[in-house]
Structure 1
């Protein structure tokens, strides 16, 4: 279940809220729970000297020559040559996330977690030693839409072929050892027990239940304490046979390879997978009923989660919603939410909003923690900020600033081979055009205030929020008035 850090699988544009454990999708924002006093010393108005020297000019984005083809078994391939380093990165994405769990929540994650636990004649330690001895790195992970496996290796033919041979065994011939299944189940069950002491996690689980009802996105990717113990080895083998089929895969490759070398490499990888077609796409969710749910929890702070259905990844308003959300609550200090809730009133360490577009409509969410005795007023304030923003839209200055910030940060999305392979994987998995990166920037920079306002109002409504709070029921205090120097400051460290 490991995956290298700093992978940007979610494409640039929409910054999503920090509910990684609850949402089980890739996120761009760091976990709010590790916020520190350093946040107090950061202001969005501060400008790095290197950015100042741009003098209004957008940084140059790396141009990608994306090549694509299908393997004989039906896997879609996206490839970019990059000869700067003698290495390559491969990522394979399968439509094998928890949305394919069916009536057995957790089977997708367990299948993925068990891939590198055993292959014929090798156990988990020997597999790990094999990759390490070749200077190669294996990664895997399972989320709501997808499961993935990845390989980074030297491109020298001897090292490459040896690493790929082991990689092909891991993804194509896992033995699913019984002792490993028992160990991983115990780890998951211990995690479920820990969740009981984590109000943020409890709130996230409840939010997805309320938001998605009977839809496959409703349950956590890791399954539940009720479902995991009964999952069998036979179920894992069956899931692997259908969900890890070549026809259900997208293969992204970046690195020091020629087109011919890449074709030969992915042909072997594709042939090592089970044979079969792509799985059927899941249905769109039904609109949930708005309302508030509360989870009683003894703590000094209350978690506030607000959500409604957002967009799927193919929605043409993606770019407009990206910039709109950046201004509302996706950009840290200086956003509407951060300004009103933290900077003017000192009610929270951080408040963030974001869309999580997926195969079908993913959530739009706002999340924060605040003092329990001010949670009611803070919730109303957040709702009012959203309502006002939808009514007025962004100012021209806010939009110009958001465009400049996007132009400055966008080159990071292709700064390394690992970044590029993540972009390619997402482009292939969500059937985005090969020109997506260029198209996104052009669309974003051409947006007007009216277009952003229209897109936000098309997809969001202040009266459709599904709200979950987790904290104690105590007497409420009035909120302090807004000021440039609030007397109250956020509590030292968020509880979770």
Structure 2
């Protein structure tokens, strides 16, 4: 006979009455045991390596401190990166592309405020990996920067940036950065203009490359089917081929800006809205995880507070998402959503009220448990995939995390209490500095409709 004096373990809390969960310890998290090796090459490059023998694949990520904030002209940083696969001193662009394709390798690149990143994914078979590394190294270390290709890339960059500027979400982000990082490299306009690009020459690219793409300005991550000795030899080979002996200067501290509301009229069916808050909590700060949990509780997943309020109860948006963006200096906490034009102000007021309530009272125990489960599951999925693990290690290396960061992550999550999260939020979230940006058509404003629940 069942004991009817107490409900089954899964009959309450965040798991409801899920019968298949009865008898399971849903708070038990799988232990992460990722052996991370770190060292420096003779040329001064920091290397992070994880041996992963499950697949015959090797992922190599090169992250240079050569982002748009590292130079007076963001366009120079972008052009330098985009020109790297337009030919080297050995092969032209078509020859490089053909050789990479024949080897079954994939090269990707991206530029952000803090970094320029190039990655290579290759089969680990030596007969394919060695020539792939050789081609990848020649692209990064010995670019030709041909003038005809530069003119082509300039035209493409103007069109690309113009298209991004027309996207309401991206325009809202740009405006938030301009205010939050006023008179700081992060606040520079990222859009390229013909006038600015016309001034950039191949000689400018070579000069920037000699400095910013040096071995001492690089962090390298290697994950895959090879030994540490093989990874060391590979890292040494890449590092020695690069320019030597230069490292970027530290960025200035983030400015102390005040809160504001920015409304930008732009044609469209709806409005993109961004609430951004400066959060100066480095990712390797012990309090960063508490801020990350707060972000998870507020608007990550269908059970988050904002998703329940704006989508489930009132059906006003398909999704509302928050993101914590740590940067080399400073950082921000951002919430983004799209809404019908009549509900811009009322939805902003609701989001601000929910954020203020979380700061004031903190999360519930059930919300915190669910957030911890979500973050632990996300980490488990990441370390199970070589490419995603390489990307994560690249981030954590830039953040200055210790080598055991991944293995201790879940334990540090489990130590946090609702009270601890609330206390961190009350000290770290200054709501008077919030920036609200809306981009979209202007309409007469209405109160939120009655809730469905």
Q: Same fold (TM over 0.5)?
A: yes
Aligned partner of 1:39 in structure 2 is: none
Report the structure number with the largest CA radius of gyration.
2
When normalised by structure 2's length, the TM-score is 0.91
CA RMSD, aligned part only? 2.2
Aligned length: 439
How far did 1:277 drift? 3.0
CA distance in 1, matches of 2:438, 2:392: 35
Judging changes above 3 Å, is the alpha-carbon distance between structure 1 residues 192 and 256 closer, same or farther for their aligned structure 2 residues? closer
CA distance in 2, matches of 1:354, 1:383: 15
How far did 1:214 drift? 1.1
Aligned counterpart for 1:245 among listed residues 189, 214, 223: 214
Aligned partner of 1:174 in structure 2 is: 143
How far did 1:222 drift? 5.6
SS in 2 for 1:217: helix
Residue range with higher mean Cα deviation, 412-421 or 214-223: 214-223
Residue range with higher mean Cα deviation, 257-266 or 91-100: 257-266
**8 Å contact from structure 2 (residues 50, 222) kept in 1:** yes
Aligned partner of 1:134 in structure 2 is: 103
* Structure 2, gaps ≥5 residues long: 1-13
Aligned partner of 1:63 in structure 2 is: 33
Aligned partner of 1:219 in structure 2 is: 188
CA distance in 2, matches of 1:459, 1:271: 43
When normalised by structure 1's length, the TM-score is 0.84
Aligned counterpart for 1:318 among listed residues 284, 288, 295: 288
SS in 2 for 1:115: coil
How far did 1:224 drift? 4.7
**8 Å contact from structure 1 (residues 299, 471) kept in 2:** yes
CA distance in 2, matches of 1:361, 1:53: 45
Q: How does 1:136-285 map to 2 (within 5 A)?
A: 136-221=105-190, 223-224=192-193, 226-285=195-254
How far did 1:409 drift? 2.9
**8 Å contact from structure 1 (residues 78, 253) kept in 2:** yes
Q: Over residues 58-113 of structure 1, what are the superposed CA-to-partner deviations in whole Å (9 max), with x where a residue is unaligned?
A: 342441111111111100111112222223111111111111122x1221111111
SS in 1 for 2:370: helix
**8 Å contact from structure 2 (residues 43, 215) kept in 1:** yes
Judging changes above 3 Å, is the alpha-carbon distance between structure 1 residues 77 and 221 closer, same or farther for their aligned structure 2 residues? farther
Residue range with higher mean Cα deviation, 114-123 or 470-479: 470-479
CA distance in 2, matches of 1:476, 1:225: 39
**8 Å contact from structure 1 (residues 109, 222) kept in 2:** no
CA distance in 2, matches of 1:48, 1:122: 61
How far did 1:282 drift? 0.9
Aligned partner of 1:363 in structure 2 is: 332
- 1:386 paired with 2:358, answer no
Q: Over residues 118-142 of structure 1, what are the superposed CA-to-partner deviations in whole Å (9 max), with x where a residue is unaligned?
A: 1124111111111111222222211
Aligned partner of 1:98 in structure 2 is: 68
Q: How does 1:387-406 map to 2 (within 5 A)?
A: 387-406=356-375
Judging changes above 3 Å, is the alpha-carbon distance between structure 1 residues 86 and 348 closer, same or farther for their aligned structure 2 residues? closer
Judging changes above 3 Å, is the alpha-carbon distance between structure 1 residues 88 and 193 closer, same or farther for their aligned structure 2 residues? closer
SS in 2 for 1:252: strand
Judging changes above 3 Å, is the alpha-carbon distance between structure 1 residues 441 and 59 closer, same or farther for their aligned structure 2 residues? closer
**8 Å contact from structure 1 (residues 285, 361) kept in 2:** yes
Aligned partner of 1:38 in structure 2 is: none
- 1:351 paired with 2:355, answer no
**8 Å contact from structure 2 (residues 297, 367) kept in 1:** yes
**8 Å contact from structure 2 (residues 161, 191) kept in 1:** no
Higher RCO structure (Cα 8 Å, ≥6 apart): 1
**8 Å contact from structure 1 (residues 143, 221) kept in 2:** no
